């Protein structure tokens, strides 16, 4: 049933006229994106998988610009999951270099656009050059007040929740909080995304219809939008189509 609905939503959105985008209407505050299909894009062209990842960087740039221009406040890109370490070593090494490569060419424009960069995920296992590139971008953009661009890197929702539970248990044991005080807000404040509102809209490319261990807590009431377009082929027009679809939905949060 979920798969049927997801494909129906995807077809409807891709048929939408992007002129229907109402900039005076409801623009999602936070859009999260699962960037999927780089490897398949490369395979279709008889190219190595890393060629797909490099092509996907251009899409990241275009989507950031599109989100910024229509007033999205937070954009979270799922760049590398805790499960991605299982991929071939040469591909992992390439992916670890991508933040450095992307930020070395795009950071100045991000600064000019008043974009704030932040990493969301665990810094364990990440090579020093990856951490340095991200920390430099975070430092350079720390006072920016426009779109916040979050790179979910070495991110896994189950790991995030386990770490949050450990932190809360330690605070309970130390007497810093009482059991009666434990609620959803307390848990949210112990997640990687403690200062980021939950996503209003999730976009996933490449035709896969699953969350892949991404923001499991935060996506409880997020609107989901799926497309069969591979990430390197995803354009700002596709992004606008997702926003149009979002604007046509009624968010009831369990109410009537």
Measured between alpha carbons, how far is 240 from 242 in angstroms, rounded to an integer? 5
The two three-digit tokens of residue 73, written as one number: 């406040």
Tokens of 109: 């424009």
Active-site residue, selected from the candidate residues 36, 38, 154, 200:
36
DSSP 162-210: HHHHHHHHHHHHTTSS-GGG--HHHHHHTSTTTTSPPPSEEEE-TT--S
The per-type count for the chain, helices as H runs and strands as E runs, is 8, 6
- β partners of residue 78: 34, 152
Distance CA 101, CA 248 (A): 38
- Decide if 36 is catalytic: yes
d(CA 9, CA 224): 9
Cα separations in angstroms, 98 against 54, 64, 79, 151, 178: 8, 16, 9, 12, 43
Starting at the earlier edge strand, list the strands of the sheet with 30-34. 116-120, 148-155, 74-81, 30-34, 201-204, 223-226
233 catalytic residue (yes or no): no
Phi, psi of 122 (to 5 degrees): -95, 135
**Residues with a known catalytic role:** 36, 84
């Amino acid at each position: 049933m979920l798969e049927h609905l997801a494909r129906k939503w995807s077809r409807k959105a891709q048929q939408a006229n992007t002129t229907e985008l109402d900039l005076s209407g409801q623009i999602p505050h936070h859009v999260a994106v699962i960037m999927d299909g780089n490897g398949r894009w490369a395979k279709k062209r008889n190219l190595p998988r890393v060629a797909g990842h490099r092509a996907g960087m251009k899409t990241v740039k275009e989507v950031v610009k599109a989100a910024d221009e229509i007033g999205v406040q937070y954009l979270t890109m799922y760049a590398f999951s805790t499960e991605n370490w299982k991929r071939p070593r040469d591909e992992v090494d390439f992916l670890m270099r991508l933040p450095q490569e992307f930020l070395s060419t795009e950071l100045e424009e991000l600064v000019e656009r008043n974009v704030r960069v932040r990493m969301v995920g665990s810094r364990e296992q990440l090579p020093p050059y990856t951490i340095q590139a991200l920390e430099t971008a975070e430092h350079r953009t720390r006072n920016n007040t426009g779109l916040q661009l979050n790179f979910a890197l070495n991110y896994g929702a189950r790991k995030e929740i386990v770490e949050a539970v450990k932190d809360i248990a330690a605070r309970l044991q130390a007497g810093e909080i009482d059991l009666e005080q434990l609620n959803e807000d307390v848990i949210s404040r112990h997640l990687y995304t403690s200062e980021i509102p939950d996503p209003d809209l999730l976009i996933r490319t490449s035709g896969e219809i699953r969350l892949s261990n991404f923001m499991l807590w935060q996506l409880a009431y997020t609107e989901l939008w799926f497309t069969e377009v591979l990430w390197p082929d995803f354009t700002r027009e596709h992004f606008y189509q997702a926003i149009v679809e979002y604007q046509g939905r009624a968010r009831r949060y369990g109410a009537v």
